[in-house]
Amino acid sequence: MVCPGDRGYDTARAVFNGMIDRRPLAVIRPMDASDVVGCITFARRHDLPLSVRGGGHSVAGSAVRDGAIMLDLSGMKALWVDPATRTVRAGPGLTLGEFDRATQAFGLATTLGVVSTTGIAGLTLGGGLGWLNGRYGLACDNLISADVATADGQLLRASAQENEDLFWSIRGGGGNFGVVTAFEYQLHPVDLVLAGGLSYPLEVAPRVLRHYDDFVKAAPDELSTAASLGLTPAGEPTVSIAVCYCGPIDEGERVLRPLRTFQSPLDDQVQPMPYAVAQSARDEGYPSGRLHYWKSGWLREVTDGAIETLMRFVPQMPSSASGVGLQQLHGAASRVAPSATAFPHRAEQYDFLILSQWSEASDSDRNVQWTRALFEAMQPHLEESVYVNNLGDEGSGRVRAAYGENYPRLAAVKRTYDPDNVFRANQNIDPSTDIVGGEQ
């Protein structure tokens, strides 16, 4: 346990987003599930608010709250791979990189996100969109079971056979239902992938983005992609396309040829590489502690109007560390029924994210204003829904938009497992919401 005044307190309370500067009452680092149950029981007995930290990457900083007990799970990194059943049991303190390293030793992997320092816990509980989503679905689609410490101090197994409603809810409903002390995932054979990026000057972005949109809609499940717009360190606006093909390399070369040849790129870094290398290729751009402000929404189509808006705003981007991303939700991830798991956004579409990051607090106003103005200008092109894992502190309307049509069922499950809203330091599902979706 680390308390205010203790050595290491400032490090222990820091999270990925440097905008978050909160002072918990204590940071407690459980080593196992019984410690977690003990912490929940202690916090409830003394009526203390609780927050839960996995990898600390929530941009909203929900892992840390002023005056709360911060349950920091980063010490719980146990991991057992069973190569015979192609499954893994993984502790909630693991980062994506730690998970991938261990499973890749057996030539296995499952869908996780695209920056290896992110925590598996928050990512999976909100959905989990990454380079394998077209072939294998989201991270939450690969969850077989989870051990969950609930608000009343029980340790439950959630799976398709046990506590099914809890299992349904933690696949997209975030940390609202309890603290997951272990995740069990399905793994898949993944070895070399054909991955990397293509970049172009912004002048050709309309042609590039239109071609990209047509191309990826017809792409096989093995190919997952993302487009992004930003500035080079020298301030030149660019558009890039990143790809990851997880089938046979020669087949991937054939599939990707039309994308690589329709327009000469400034740079083409697409090449065969070990999956774990592709998974950490973006890490350098996302060091911990920078100041972050994000806005996002789902985008069904890259229309001329959307492109025109991006062309207007990107050259004015205040920080060359920022980016505007279109991460593709595709294939297997899009074909799951919206009500089959709590994650409702099942369609071929892009997770449109304005990811602003900068280093000096004096630049905050400029960056926040630019982000808000671009988000406002993009409104006519975006769906009303949003991916929960991108949300900042944006109010209850946006939280509803994130859980979408599954909100009423989530609220009903919340009433069963956490009627007093002990787990409220998150994108919160209010247990007092009635079944038809109104507040009681």
Ligand X SMILES: Cc1cc2nc3c(=O)[nH]c(=O)nc-3n(C[C@H](O)[C@H](O)[C@H](O)COP(=O)(O)OP(=O)(O)OC[C@H]3O[C@@H](n4cnc5c(N)ncnc54)[C@H](O)[C@@H]3O)c2cc1C
Shortest CB 38 distance to ligand X, Å: 15
- DSSP state for residue 263 in the 8-state scheme: S
Question: What is the spatial distance between Cα 410 and Cα 437, in angstroms, rounded to a whole number?
Answer: 10
Shortest CB 109 distance to ligand X, Å: 14
Q: Is the CB of residue 391 less than 8 Å from the CB of residue 60? A: yes
Phi, psi of 395 (to 5 degrees): 95, 165
Residue 121 or 291: the one with the smaller Cβ distance to ligand X is 121
For helices 364-378 and 304-313, the axis angle rounded to 10 degrees is 160
Residue 171 or 307: the one with the smaller Cβ distance to ligand X is 171
Token pair of 204 as six digits: 């050709």
Binding site for ligand X (CB under 6 A): 16, 52-59, 62-63, 73, 92, 113-115, 118-119, 121-123, 125-130, 174-175, 179-180, 286, 389, 425-426
Residue 129 or 202: the one with the smaller Cβ distance to ligand X is 129
Shortest CB 354 distance to ligand X, Å: 13
Question: What is the spatial distance between Cα 226 and Cα 223, in angstroms, rounded to a whole number?
Answer: 10
Q: Is the CB of residue 309 less than 8 Å from the CB of residue 377? A: yes
Q: Is the CB of residue 67 less than 8 Å from the CB of residue 185? A: no
Residue 260 or 415: the one with the smaller Cβ distance to ligand X is 415
Residue 58 or 309: the one with the smaller Cβ distance to ligand X is 58
The H or E element that residue 322 is part of is none
Shortest CB 390 distance to ligand X, Å: 6
Shortest CB 345 distance to ligand X, Å: 11
Residue 406 or 426: the one with the smaller Cβ distance to ligand X is 426
Q: Is the CB of residue 327 less than 8 Å from the CB of residue 242? A: no
Shortest CB 124 distance to ligand X, Å: 8
Residue 309 or 426: the one with the smaller Cβ distance to ligand X is 426
- Tell me the residue number closest to ligand X, measured at CB: 122
Residue 59 or 166: the one with the smaller Cβ distance to ligand X is 59
Shortest CB 312 distance to ligand X, Å: 26
Residues 6 or more apart in contact with residue 115 via CB below 8 angstroms: 57, 96, 282, 283, 286
Nearest one of 235, 345, 330 to 298, comparing CA atoms: 345
- DSSP H helical segments within 171-274, as ranges? 205-217, 249-261
Residues 6 or more apart in contact with residue 348 via CB below 8 angstroms: 217, 300, 329, 330, 334
Task: List, in sequence order, every residue forming a beta bridge with 430; answer none if it has no partner.
Answer: none
Shortest CB 421 distance to ligand X, Å: 12
Residues 6 or more apart in contact with residue 261 via CB below 8 angstroms: none
